Structure 1
Amino acid sequence: MGFLSVLSMAHKLVKERVSPGDTVIDATCGNGVDTLFLAELVGPRGTVYAFDIQEEALERTRQRLNDSAAGAALHLVHASHADMVEQISADGRGKAAAAMFNLGYLPGADQSVITTPDGTLAALKAALAVLRPSGIVTVVLYPGHPGGAEEADAALQWASSLPQSLAQTVLYRMAQKAEAPYLLAIEKR
């Protein structure tokens, strides 16, 4: 039996902290895999905010959730994840149980449209602002594509500099392969 993939580990960490009825965020909805996972966790009493700057990603996510039995209140937001504080209802701020990021580009789409260090750092700060205490942010980083290493380094440097009184961070990474995707997880105190 091998180790969990970075995506499976992100799901495991989120599942441990999310309950039915919670508010959760998919900061980069892409194909909707994490959005569906979150919707199933929070159930019909829960709320999912799913962000993407590409309409194609929102449509893929909408289709994936339409094809499922997940009944969570879904808010598909055609905006940058950096704008999540403004996009989440006032009563939901400071109460989110989890925010999931899967960085890089939308598979099967224009690979020149990628997440960037500046936008990602702003979004990570916003995610911490909307999380409740003991809430979690998971960030799957892809250093192997153009621009990915710079983004991964910036996210890791930012997370490493967080005061321990605010959050604790962990890395889940394959040690033998520098360009392999890896997981950064941040738990708010």
Structure 2
Amino acid sequence: MGFLSVLSMAHKWIAERAGRGDIVVDATAGGGVDTLALAELVGPGGRVHAFDIQQQALDRTRERLTAAGALDRVRLHLLDHARMSEAVEVDSRGRISAVMFNLGYLPGGDTEVITKPSTTIEALGAALSLLKPGGIITCVLYPGHSGGDAEAVAVEAWAAGLPQTEGQAVLYRQPQRSAAPYLIAVEKRKSQ
């Protein structure tokens, strides 16, 4: 038996902190795999906000959700994840249980269209502000593709610099494989 993949670990940590009726965010909808997993986790009474800058990604996500009968609990946003605070309802701010990032590019899409360090760092800050105490951010990083290494360094620096009064960060990776995907997660501090 091996270790869980970084995506499986991200899903596990989210499932430990979010559940039926919750509000969650998929900051990078891509092909909709994570969006569907989040929609199934929160159930019909929950809500998922899914963001992507490519219509192709949202179309794939819509198809996947429709086939699974879960589209009704998801709001798709053709919007950069750095602007997620603008799209999430005011009454949901501070009530989000989980925000999931799966960085890089759309599988099967244009590999030149990638997430960027500057907007990702802005999005992580927005995500932290939207989380409820005890909520989680998961961020899967891909240092093996062009531009992914710089983004991974920026995200890791952001997490390491996060004051412990705001949240605690963990790193899940294979140290023998420097180009392999890895996971950073941040849990927002509970109110004292």
> If the TM-score is normalised by the length of the shorter chain, which range does it land in?
over 0.9
| Total equivalences in the alignment | 189
Amino acid at match of 2:117: P
Pairing 1:62–2:62 present: yes
Provide the secondary structure at the position in 2 that maps to 1:128. Answer: helix
Amino acid at match of 1:36: L
Deviation, structure 1 residue 72: 5.2
Identify the residue that residue 159 of structure 1 maps to in structure 2: 159
Q: Give the TM-score normalised by structure 1.
A: 0.99
Name the CA distance, whole Å, in 2 between partners of 1:182 and 1:20: 28
* Unpaired segments ≥5 residues, structure 1: none
Deviation, structure 1 residue 73: 1.9
Name the CA distance, whole Å, in 2 between partners of 1:75 and 1:69: 14
Provide the secondary structure at the position in 2 that maps to 1:185. Answer: strand
RMSD between aligned residues:
0.8
Identify the residue that residue 118 of structure 2 maps to in structure 1: 118
Q: Would the aligned equivalents of 1:82 and 1:119 in 2 still touch at CA under 8 Å?
A: yes
TM-superposition CA deviations, 1:86-117 (whole Å, max 9, x none): 11000111100000000000000100000000
Identify the residue that residue 177 of structure 1 maps to in structure 2: 177
Identify the residue that residue 15 of structure 1 maps to in structure 2: 15
Q: Would the aligned equivalents of 2:62 and 2:71 in 1 still touch at CA under 8 Å?
A: no
Amino acid at match of 1:139: C
Amino acid at match of 1:9: M
Residues 171 and 72 of structure 1, relative CA distance in 2, 3 Å threshold: farther
Aligned-pair identity in percent equals 59
Deviation, structure 1 residue 70: 2.9
TM-superposition CA deviations, 1:56-88 (whole Å, max 9, x none): 000000000000033652110000000000110
Q: How does 1:1-189 map to 2 (within 5 A)?
A: 1-70=1-70, 73-189=73-189
Deviation, structure 1 residue 126: 0.4
Deviation, structure 1 residue 19: 1.5
Q: Would the aligned equivalents of 1:45 and 1:72 in 2 still touch at CA under 8 Å?
A: no
Name the CA distance, whole Å, in 1 between partners of 2:43 and 2:24: 11
Deviation, structure 1 residue 136: 0.2
Q: Give the TM-score normalised by structure 2.
A: 0.97
Amino acid at match of 1:98: A
Name the CA distance, whole Å, in 2 between partners of 1:3 and 1:19: 24
Name the CA distance, whole Å, in 1 between partners of 2:108 and 2:7: 18
Deviation, structure 1 residue 131: 0.5
* Unpaired segments ≥5 residues, structure 2: none
